[in-house]
Structure 1
Amino acid sequence: MKPWKLLETKYLVDAPWLKVAKEKCELPNGKVIDDFYTLWQPDWVLILARTATGRWVMTEQYRHGSQTIELEFPAGIINKDETPKQAALRELQEECGYRPCEAPSSDCHALHTKYLGSLPVNPDRHRGKFHIVFIDGVSKAGGTHFDSTEDIESSELSDEELQTKMANGTFCHPLQIAGYYKWKLATR
């Protein structure tokens, strides 16, 4: 099997948070597709943060795409100068006011923070990916620092409560559920 050959790209939307391209591609069999549309958004980090008592840190916020208030794990865009782990620690503090251990030392972060890898957002048409970071032993330590567009409430759920919410559709973000199961499989 061979990849497609990209012949031409025309950006229909070229903004910092979203790019939409119309691409002309040649398939290995010689067929040419004149209008294959792709999307790009910045890479982001999914934060699976668990307290010392085994409860998951969760957020609720309005999501305009679905026009609903959604239960989610904390998450956020990775800045250009950050690793996924650094972005996870920053976003967890900013969105929820949590961090690992009592003191914000790098040794403490390294002991409790594990990078689980990345997954594509949608390999068919989307060029972005999300990174999964597990942070164990977090506790409330300080206030939140929301961006001007954020209004977030935090809570904690046991693993059983989280799985019940997955089963009944209260927690329904498919990429976040995939990240949770990636963690679950890594800890078997």
Structure 2
Amino acid sequence: MEKWTTTDSRYIIKRPWLTARCDTMRMPDGQIKDEFYVLEYPDWVNIIAITTDGKMVLVEQYRHGLDDIFMELCAGCVEPGEDPLAAAKRELAEETGFGGGEWELSMVLSANPTSMNNLNYCYIATGVELIGEQHLDPTEDINVHVLEPDEVKRLLVNDRIKQSLMAAPLWKYFAQRGECPIK
């Protein structure tokens, strides 16, 4: 197996929330693919936040792509030059007002390695506490929910957590603890 070679690359659109480029690729057997599209995004983070009393901090917000309101893990973008762990701690504090605790990297995922160039760093933060107020960006409208783990399991089982980059680490979290929601 050999990597493909980029022989040409041009940007189609460069906007704050959407960057797309078209690459010309040479495959190892010499074939040329004239149009291979890549969406460029910053790396992302999400956090399974567990309070000192064992509850889970989730957020609820409107998502325009599916035109609905969803329950999700706290998540956000890694700023240029920022460490993913620092970004995760910043996002949790900004979106929920929670912070502190012990942090560990659970997994690193790609939303779609075929056509997206970023990674998603999934953290588990245990022992978090309310340390302040939300500090939302102008485009954020977020409700914070502190739920029992069984409530989060029900959300998973009932297909209420739609974001795959959030569902996967939650399934892993419960499975590693022998608490797989489906029996």
> Above 0.5 in TM-score?
yes
What is the rounded CA distance, in whole Å, between the counterparts of 1:27 and 1:147 in structure 2?
43
Q: How does 1:7-156 map to 2 (within 5 A)?
A: 7-100=7-100, 112-156=102-146
Q: CA RMSD in A?
A: 1.6
The Cα shift of 1:64 comes to 1.1
Structure 1: tracts of 5 or more residues without a match? 101-108
Give the secondary-structure state (helix, strand or coil) at the position aligned to 2:8.
strand
Counterpart for residue 172 of structure 1: 162
What is the rounded CA distance, in whole Å, between the counterparts of 1:61 and 1:7 in structure 2?
41
In the TM superposition, structure 1's runs of 4+ consecutive aligned residues that sit over 3 Å from their partners are: 181-188
Structure 2: tracts of 5 or more residues without a match? 179-183
Amino acid at match of 2:28: P
Amino acid at match of 1:178: A
Q: Is the 8 A contact 2:107 2:169 kept in 1?
A: no
The Cα shift of 1:8 comes to 0.8
The superposition leaves residues 95-145 of structure 1 with CA deviations (integer Å, 9 ceiling, x where unpaired) of: 101112xxxxxxxx5xx1112342112111111111111110112221111
Q: Percent identity?
A: 33
The Cα shift of 1:187 comes to 5.6
TM-score, structure 1 as length reference: 0.88
Q: Is the 8 A contact 1:52 1:138 kept in 2?
A: yes
Give the secondary-structure state (helix, strand or coil) at the position aligned to 2:35.
strand
TM-score, structure 2 as length reference: 0.90
The Cα shift of 1:51 comes to 0.8
What number of residue pairs does the alignment pair up?
Answer: 178
Amino acid at match of 2:9: T
